[in-house]
Amino acid sequence: MLCCGGVEEEFFGPPASQHAAPPNRAAPGQGRDPRGPGTMKSGAPAKVLPIEIPAIPLAELNRLTSNFGQKALVGEGSYGQVYQATLSTGEPVAIKKLDPSASNDPDSDFAAQLSMVSRLKNDFFLELLGYCLEANNRILVYAMTGQLTQKSDVYSFGVILLELLTGRKPVDHTMPKGQQSLVTWATPRLSEDKVKQCVDPKLENDFPPKAVAKLAAVAALCVQYEADFRPNMTIVVKALQPLLNTKPGQDSHQ
């Protein structure tokens, strides 16, 4: 089953190719138009089946996530961000807000893929419960499992560690492109030889290097893309405890 960091392109990449029905064999003189899939030379588009899950109003998703605020953020990937919320029915869900710049597919293609994915019933996929295409958004709502909740909590704690380390917000749209997502920007800089590049400049280099490097290493484990590779909170706490009393100019030897 896909986990929090993996509520991703798997739903709009491989699954589409693995579960799509084979193309109908065209009659003579009715070959496929190279301008795009599903279009015949006559210009008639292929029929798209209705989407079998409900559309959820953007206003409702904004309410559930506090306008997609950082407190609800539990995961991030190349295709967007994942937020944790609870529906009015009490059901916990993962809300995936896709990055509009991550795909050049037109809305019609996206809707066709969504129609197909809405019909998938497989233990290896998270259940897709709803979607939203309002105001140029592409938002998917998935059922959330207990495993997903535990691992997303670890991810959230990792983001908090990165905030403490860098002095930055989890998402800051005022930053230059490539630096707006804290996790994306910081992750390549969390190794011991590079961590100084992302330490909060307000500290003015007045910090214990080894302790900071260890904190960065723990944060890196917590925000790993694959949720199964993230440690549990017991391991995280044990790793951080030796750092509690570390002061500037002093390093933990544990």
- H/E stretch holding 152 reads helix 146-166
Residue whose structure tokens are 């330490």: 199
The shares of helix, strand and coil residues in the chain, as percent rounded to the nearest 5, are 40, 15, 45
Binding residues: 97
- Three-class SS state of 142: strand
- Give the closest residue to 155 by CA, choosing from 243, 240, 64, 236: 236
- Paired with 80 in beta bridges are 77, 98
Q: Is there a contact between 20 and 48 (Cβ–Cβ < 8 Å)? A: no
Question: Order of strands across the sheet with 80-86?
Answer: 73-77, 80-86, 92-98, 139-143, 128-132
- Three-class SS state of 80: strand
Q: Hey, what are 196's tokens?
A: 């100084």
Q: Is there a contact between 7 and 96 (Cβ–Cβ < 8 Å)? A: yes
Q: Hey, what are 112's tokens?
A: 């066709």
Q: Are strands 80-86 and 73-77 parallel, antiparallel or unpaired?
A: antiparallel
Binding residues for ATP: 97
CB atoms within 10 A of CB 181: 19
